[in-house]
Structure 1
Amino acid sequence: MLFCLGHGQHVVQEKDAASKTAGAPLTAVAPDMHLKGYAAPTREPELEGEPAEAGMAGDADMVSADMPTEDVGKFCYYFPSGYALPESADMPELLDALADSMVEANPVSAEQNSQIPPVFTYWGQFIDHDMTANTDRESDVSMIEGNISPKTRDEVTANLFNLRDGSLGLDSLYGDTVGQGPFANRLSQIMRFPGNRAKMRLGLPAAVGGRVPLPETDNATDLLRLGFLLRNNILTVEELRAIPDPDLRSVFLDGDGNPIPTRAIIGDSRNDENLIVAQLQVLFLRFHNKLADATQSRSFDTARRLTRWHYQWLVLHEYLPTVCDPAIVDEVVDLAAPLYTAFYDMHNGSGPKMPMPLEFSVAGFRFGHSMVRGGYDHNRFFGQAEGGSTPLQPFAAMNDLFAFTGDGRMNGFPVEQLPQNWVVEWDRWVSIDPANPGRSARKIDTELAPPLLDLVNQPAGVFKHLARRNLRRGYRLSLPTAQSCVESVLNSGYKQFDVLTPEQLAEGSDARQKAVKDGGFDTNTPLWFYILKEAEVLGNGEHLGPLGSHIVANTLVGLVVNDIESYWNAPGGRWQPEHFDAQHPIKSIQDVMRFCGML
């Protein structure tokens, strides 16, 4: 599904008279949202006279305000009868106190560095954007200031919709949806490479100071951006100003009616809020194009299918065993994800979209927030010196990774593309260097890096304190407590596993112990906090504990198992990665980078 949606933006079903008909529309409930439809037709004609600069990109799109509810996915509960946190007037303050105790030590100790390469932090965010959108904001749900009370689960499931199709189908890359209007069709024509319609278009980074990281000979290493389209007369400012819908128009124009040249033309604008996620978007776009070349086919569908299947295989065979308990991943794969399959069978009657468990989206899959560092060994210019070079900075700070994006307007540089000295060098992101903490993810635990407690690039009205946001959201959406989820999983036929004691849950600083005791969270624990704490205690911070592993692995494996178009259900039997180079099949994210000329 294609849309331009930032973190903190939210859509709910209207309740006015017009929405009481079949196929009730979706309406943006916050003034800072920009959610209107435009997307790809079934077949795009070639563009005449378009410059063949730098290969390929994805669709930038938004959800239609009059899209019927059958075109969106459902958020439901794995454990709808599980008990939630007790409602009380002081619960928001109690949760905020717990959130405020989740601050990492400064300076960070070496014990907080994991053996997980840092790419897995942002690969998880990329996966999340591919599957779900719309849990981050509603005008009266989890992000508002002051006192809040829980929504009933019936209210949540009736009014909260997934703006993705829920599958691991790289929807954020391809933006598979039905477009509306001439401007939608115009953009969809632009997304594909005019010289070879099997490919997708990328952009070139902006030349800055002669500093060029690898690859020097193939530098299509940024996203397609609006400035390129305007500069080459593929779109015009007049065309943008003529867009009738003001919300859609404001995606491309600032408050004075001037174009925003750094705006990325991609399937999900959230993938250009953080530079590493944006560079992963570039990587998978390059992967699609390299597969189109390797198959010697001008078939877009063939390249897309192979890209999706490799991606799904890597999620199950590399990503999950890295971030989850490998034994639990094996158990879930061997049993074909029965927890999610039962959930799917219960909730998939109304349409083709994959239902999404709230316990996963709102809690389980937010463990990656604790893996974020305050800075990284990004490349030879913003990281460790290489080959006699002198870095501009000793590391890339987290706020810089937000600034050098389209959302951050390239940190105010007078360029429309990513400055070339900010292109990622992936070798620093996929291997651990014990002497260089910038080359590892932080451990999965209950402490967050300081930048996550005061987030930049957030819309008005959205909590900038990420821990407060996550805990309030879970309370507002009536998530089952961790203890209730543990009970349900243990009763579902899986092998028995260890459960955290009240004493273990309260371990930590004086502020942490007080917050846990005051809120009663040692026996009724918010699910997100429990999942982080069990990773810290039972997984030594190197992977999720048993409950988190079951929720995350069941969901990701289950999405693949129950998708008739996935590699799991390939004609002739379950597909395996193929040999597209002379050496070996693509069986790791490093293999993808190498195949794409990025490693």
Structure 2
Amino acid sequence: MAPASDRHQQAPHHGRDAFFIVGEGVVGDAPDRAFSARANTSATSAAAPAAPTFRFSRVGPTGVRLPEATLRKVALAMTGGSETDGDIPSGYTYLGQFVDHDLTFDATTVAFGDDVSPADLLQGRSPTLDLDSLYGAGPLDPVSAHFYEADRTRLKVGKTTKIGSDVARVGFDVPRVGGGGVDRDLADIPDRRNDENLVVAQTHAAMIRFHNRVVADLGPATPPGERFEKARRKVVLHYQWMLRHDYLTRICDGAVVKDVFSGGRKIVEPGADPLTMPTMPVEFSVAAFRLGHSMVREAYDWNARFPNGSGTLDLLFFFSGTSGGLGGDPTLPSNWIADWRRLYRFAQVGHGELKPPTGEFNLARRIDTRLVDPLATLPMGSFGGSVSDEGTIRANLAFRNLVRARMMKLASGQQMAALLRANGVPVTTLTKAQLRGSGGRSTASLDGLTAPQLDAFLKDTPLWFYVLREAELNDGVLTGVGARLVAETFHRAMEGSTFSIVRNPGFRPSLGEKDGRFRMADLLLVAFEGRKELLAPLGD
């Protein structure tokens, strides 16, 4: 859900060169070593290549390409004016981005605006919720081994840089490439997109701590050779439980989520062999799961050093390794460590003492058809652009999303609604009046379109816009087409994971402080040992 990014930076040796795209063929000629091993396939010769197990797919039909001139007007309407807070804590915005990077990685080299089909998208990692963005291919893999400590069980942590009275702290940054030189500030993690902004980087650092705490709690009875696998299994299952019962139910209509997880999928690989590698629907990755872009705030009450909205979005880019170079420091400056109390509600998990100062809690913006102004002018590092792109429409995130879908000939919202109905899902197609909107607060006005442009847009509405308008009409929660696409893709991604709460329905979390409950706040309590001085190290 990359809040401000559609960069395509390949993590070294963490991709593949050949992919089978359902109905559209094979691209490339080399099998992916890490995931072939995971599927118990042997190395193949050039004379007899194995069928790839790792694919993008197209769930719906191909759609109509609207002119870029129309999309330009819509993008400008989506990124201007005021926005409204929703009810979801802001941490979930960037948890969504972290999850997106766990699921998808488009490593395609293609000119922005060029026509492209799913067969041209080179998927760089497994479309399962298995945390490969955190673990790589594991500590025994020669490429991924450097992410781990010498015990080949714990993940390496980073250390912040002392700034004034804020001392250097171990474990509050992602590990970074050291030794000076051009690359000294690059994150040494399997997916460097998780250093694209400060919030997702801090989320990744917290996930490292979570894994290491689970390792520490295994105790000496677990043989050394079993410690990593046992810890990863526990981490992944708790992570999936949290996504199913905490994250999904916040962003999606709960009834839709319950129906999918109890009644099964209707359009995303219904009836698939649970043990096969899932595909990644382009309707999800290019449209529906870009919902998080509308949740981004323009400014955050970040910590005790940057309260009262002084943690601006621009600064959260600036103090990351990918988009801003950490402000010139070799690692994250200590005064920019996250105060998690301002991003998640710990009172909801029984820790009312872990509250931020009054008025300093961050709510995500409501899921709707509006994006905050800073997303109209992305820094070039956040999307792999050039200097000439800065300040132009090519740096507008809404425009990039709309054009990306156009490149893919993505199905319209109306087409996806019809597909769901044909498969027994009672979804109502939005009317033209609903799609046009009222033009009020946090509603993208389409009044700038000419009559022919408006008619064409309302007839074949881009799926991303359509999903956001559905949510806008549902008090900022995905419903209809959007909720179904997201919930079904998550279900299949969990089902196909090596460790799976879908295939193991008897699993219940053991790490939360209440039986059967494990939310993101619970995960952070484990990661930071339930201590205020670790969750908010800079104090109030």
Matched, 1:211 2:166: yes
Q: Give the whole-Å Cα distance in 1 for the aligned partners of 2:406 and 2:304.
A: 44
CA contact (8 A) 2:511 2:526 kept: no
DSSP-derived class of the 1:116 partner:
strand
* Change over 3 Å in CA distance of 1:531–1:314 after alignment to 2: same
Two-structure CA RMSD over aligned residues (Å): 3.4
1:316 Cα deviation from its structure 2 partner: 0.8
Q: Give the whole-Å Cα distance in 1 for the aligned partners of 2:235 and 2:197.
A: 23
* Change over 3 Å in CA distance of 1:123–1:76 after alignment to 2: same
User: In the alignment, what sits opposite 2:430?
Assistant: 500
DSSP-derived class of the 1:161 partner:
coil
User: In the alignment, what sits opposite 2:362?
Assistant: 439
Matched, 1:540 2:475: yes
* Change over 3 Å in CA distance of 1:398–1:362 after alignment to 2: same
CA contact (8 A) 1:433 1:440 kept: no
Equivalent positions of 1:347-366 (< 5 A) are 353-366=277-290
Matched, 1:525 2:461: yes
DSSP-derived class of the 1:265 partner:
coil
Equivalent positions of 1:46-57 (< 5 A) are none
Equivalent position amino acid for 1:165 in 2 = S
Q: Give the whole-Å Cα distance in 2 for the aligned partners of 1:522 and 1:12.
A: 39
1:367 Cα deviation from its structure 2 partner: 0.6
User: In the alignment, what sits opposite 2:196?
Assistant: 273
User: In the alignment, what sits opposite 2:73?
Assistant: 97
Q: Give the whole-Å Cα distance in 1 for the aligned partners of 2:467 and 2:271.
A: 21
User: In the alignment, what sits opposite 1:513?
Assistant: 447
User: In the alignment, what sits opposite 1:163?
Assistant: 124
1:161 Cα deviation from its structure 2 partner: 2.7
Q: Give the whole-Å Cα distance in 2 for the aligned partners of 1:166 and 1:283.
A: 22
Equivalent position amino acid for 1:139 in 2 = V
User: In the alignment, what sits opposite 1:283?
Assistant: 206
CA contact (8 A) 1:113 1:437 kept: no
What is the identity percentage for the equivalent residue pairs of Structure 1 and Structure 2?
30
CA contact (8 A) 2:256 2:479 kept: no
1:114-171 Cα shifts (integer Å, max 9, x gaps): 1100011101110000000117x6424xx23xxx5x54xxxx2333231111000001
Q: Give the whole-Å Cα distance in 1 for the aligned partners of 2:241 and 2:155.
A: 22
Matched, 1:316 2:221: no
Matched, 1:190 2:126: no
User: In the alignment, what sits opposite 1:556?
Assistant: 490
Q: Give the whole-Å Cα distance in 2 for the aligned partners of 1:427 and 1:487.
A: 43
Equivalent position amino acid for 1:521 in 2 = F
Which of 327, 335, 338 aligns to 2:263? It is 335
Aligned residues: 477
* Change over 3 Å in CA distance of 1:549–1:39 after alignment to 2: closer
Equivalent positions of 1:21-32 (< 5 A) are 24-25=28-29
Q: Give the whole-Å Cα distance in 1 for the aligned partners of 2:470 and 2:201.
A: 31
Matched, 1:374 2:298: yes
Q: Give the whole-Å Cα distance in 2 for the aligned partners of 1:271 and 1:506.
A: 35
User: In the alignment, what sits opposite 1:450?
Assistant: 373
1:83 Cα deviation from its structure 2 partner: 5.0
Q: Give the whole-Å Cα distance in 2 for the aligned partners of 1:378 and 1:7.
A: 25
1:534 Cα deviation from its structure 2 partner: 1.0
1:344 Cα deviation from its structure 2 partner: 4.5
CA contact (8 A) 1:444 1:532 kept: yes
Q: Give the whole-Å Cα distance in 2 for the aligned partners of 1:71 and 1:411.
A: 39
Equivalent position amino acid for 1:294 in 2 = D
Q: What's the TM-score, normalizing by structure 1?
A: 0.72
**Unpaired segments ≥5 residues, structure 1:** 15-21, 27-36, 43-67, 232-257, 385-393
Q: Give the whole-Å Cα distance in 2 for the aligned partners of 1:69 and 1:471.
A: 35
User: In the alignment, what sits opposite 1:325?
Assistant: 253
* Change over 3 Å in CA distance of 1:331–1:6 after alignment to 2: closer
Equivalent position amino acid for 1:536 in 2 = E
Which of 212, 222, 228 aligns to 1:300? It is 228
CA contact (8 A) 2:213 2:527 kept: yes
Matched, 1:459 2:397: no
* Change over 3 Å in CA distance of 1:592–1:579 after alignment to 2: closer
Matched, 1:78 2:59: yes
Q: Give the whole-Å Cα distance in 1 for the aligned partners of 2:136 and 2:291.
A: 26
Q: Give the whole-Å Cα distance in 2 for the aligned partners of 1:428 and 1:129.
A: 23
CA contact (8 A) 1:198 1:300 kept: yes
Equivalent position amino acid for 1:420 in 2 = S
Q: Give the whole-Å Cα distance in 1 for the aligned partners of 2:17 and 2:34.
A: 21
Q: Give the whole-Å Cα distance in 2 for the aligned partners of 1:6 and 1:491.
A: 32
Q: Give the whole-Å Cα distance in 1 for the aligned partners of 2:422 and 2:356.
A: 42
Q: What's the TM-score, normalizing by structure 2?
A: 0.80
User: In the alignment, what sits opposite 2:157?
Assistant: 202
Q: Give the whole-Å Cα distance in 1 for the aligned partners of 2:204 and 2:126.
A: 18
CA contact (8 A) 2:177 2:186 kept: yes
CA contact (8 A) 1:102 1:446 kept: yes
CA contact (8 A) 1:364 1:551 kept: yes
1:12 Cα deviation from its structure 2 partner: 10
1:100 Cα deviation from its structure 2 partner: 1.2
CA contact (8 A) 2:342 2:360 kept: no
1:531-567 Cα shifts (integer Å, max 9, x gaps): 0111111x112x1122110010111012213435313
* Change over 3 Å in CA distance of 1:284–1:453 after alignment to 2: same
1:218-261 Cα shifts (integer Å, max 9, x gaps): 7411111111xx38xxxxxxxxxxxxxxxxxxxxxxxxxx3421
Q: Give the whole-Å Cα distance in 2 for the aligned partners of 1:381 and 1:38.
A: 46
User: In the alignment, what sits opposite 1:45?
Assistant: none
1:10-44 Cα shifts (integer Å, max 9, x gaps): 89979xxxxxxx98347xxxxxxxxxx9999x9xx
User: In the alignment, what sits opposite 2:342?
Assistant: 428
**Unpaired segments ≥5 residues, structure 2:** 19-25, 38-48, 346-354, 529-533, 536-540
Q: Give the whole-Å Cα distance in 1 for the aligned partners of 2:415 and 2:450.
A: 17
Q: Give the whole-Å Cα distance in 1 for the aligned partners of 2:436 and 2:358.
A: 33
DSSP-derived class of the 1:75 partner:
strand
Q: Give the whole-Å Cα distance in 2 for the aligned partners of 1:161 and 1:343.
A: 25
1:339 Cα deviation from its structure 2 partner: 2.8
Which of 397, 414, 419 aligns to 2:333? It is 419
Q: Give the whole-Å Cα distance in 1 for the aligned partners of 2:316 and 2:271.
A: 37
Equivalent positions of 1:95-134 (< 5 A) are 95-106=71-82, 108=83, 112-134=84-106
Q: Give the whole-Å Cα distance in 1 for the aligned partners of 2:110 and 2:50.
A: 19
Equivalent position amino acid for 1:268 in 2 = D
Q: Give the whole-Å Cα distance in 2 for the aligned partners of 1:165 and 1:304.
A: 16
* Change over 3 Å in CA distance of 1:188–1:160 after alignment to 2: closer
DSSP-derived class of the 2:88 partner:
coil
* Change over 3 Å in CA distance of 1:511–1:316 after alignment to 2: closer
Equivalent position amino acid for 1:540 in 2 = D
